[in-house]
Structure 1
Amino acid sequence: MVPADLMALIQRFYQLQSERVETYRLFEEGHEAYLRTGPQYDFEHYKQLVHEITQAFSGISKEVLEIKGRLHGEFDRADLSEHIDKLQSKEKQKLELTAKLQLAKQQAQDHPEDEGYRERVQEIRHEIIKNKEVLSEIMQDFKYDSEDCD
């Protein structure tokens, strides 16, 4: 019999991942709204959005790392904590790529005559797709390894 605490911890981890997905959606919507304010750009609103998104991601990461620590120490599930470690690394990379994509989109918008900027947007989008595939694999591994907790 698996402790209810462990199941609750795993469920909380899944909730946090859902919150992360929602935060990315809000970030993307906010950036699209920011781009619509061009060419003058309402940077103050965008700066506030970035601050709020950063706070949200920071809070999620902090709690995910606490879960990782509890899985490893309290429940002796090094396998699950290792998945979270890999996931955190890929999530960090995804956030960096997202920031690069947003900058590239603005540059492409500001320089519509320059094909290089549009190509850069496509390159970064491709990197994000690859990143999401790896994230999905890590989540599948986590799900598989945590199923014996049911």
Structure 2
Amino acid sequence: MAMASCPSGDPNASPKHSNGHASALDLLRRFNKLQVERVEGYGQFEEAFNTFLSGSAAPELLEQNFNAYKQRVAEITVAFRRISEEIIHIKNSLRDTHHKDEISAIIEKIQDLEEMKLKTTADLQIARKTASESPEDDDLNVSVSNLRQRLDELAQEITETLDDLKFESEDLYAQEIDDETLR
């Protein structure tokens, strides 16, 4: 289901243990890989928008550029949806199978923040496009500035929540080191 240029993730890639489930640590590692994919997706989203925005100066290519942008956004949206669905599965597995309620709650918070970030990113792109058509409109420029500030705040909050996740899951990594030492 992954689209071109977005790294694909195989939900079955985590090693299975005797109970048929991936370990909590394997699930966390998969979550971290999915977060990297999500960051790459945002980069592709921004790149597609910048290409569209720079191409809109040529009115004869506007429709072609817009169609290419819409197609790219559709591909990125499918990739984001796949990532989100897999992370929800990880969150639920950590809660229901491994009884890691706190870790699951942190992942849920990250999901909520990422949802807000995606919406704010889309809003910012719309505002930037509108502002590019009316550069003298101070209200539009303030709106763009406010949305950029909100994105920065969300990025900071996501980073802090990822740090919380790292702190909360330290015991899982320590257990792995202990298990390897005993072998």
Q: Do these two structures clear the TM 0.5 threshold for a shared fold by scoring above it? A: yes
**Higher Cα Rg: structure 1 or 2?**
2
Which residue does 2:25 correspond to in 1?
7
CA drift at 1:22: 0.4
Which residue does 2:100 correspond to in 1?
77
Gapped runs of 5+ residues in structure 1?
Answer: none
Amino acid corresponding to residue 161 of structure 2 in structure 1: I
Amino acid corresponding to residue 86 of structure 1 in structure 2: K
Deviations for 1:78-109, whole angstroms, at most 9, x for unmatched residues?
A: 00100011111111000000000000110111
Within 2, Cα distance between the matches of 1:15 and 1:123?
30
Which residue does 2:176 correspond to in 1?
none
Within 2, Cα distance between the matches of 1:133 and 1:113?
31
Query: Where do 4+ consecutive residues of structure 1 move more than 4 Å?
Result: none
Which residue does 1:22 correspond to in 2?
40
Which residue does 1:36 correspond to in 2?
54
| Identity value in percent | 37
- SS of the aligned residue for 2:169 comes to helix
Which residue does 2:154 correspond to in 1?
131
The structure 2 residue matched to 1:63, chosen from 81, 86, 99, is 86
The structure 2 residue matched to 1:53, chosen from 55, 58, 76, is 76
The structure 2 residue matched to 1:91, chosen from 110, 114, 118, is 114
CA drift at 1:45: 0.6
More helix by share: 1
Within 1, Cα distance between the matches of 2:25 and 2:94?
11
Q: TM-score, normalised by structure 1?
A: 0.95
Gapped runs of 5+ residues in structure 2?
Answer: 1-16, 174-183
Q: TM-score, normalised by structure 2?
A: 0.78
Within 2, Cα distance between the matches of 1:122 and 1:113?
14
Q: How many residues align?
A: 148
Two-structure CA RMSD over aligned residues (Å): 1.2
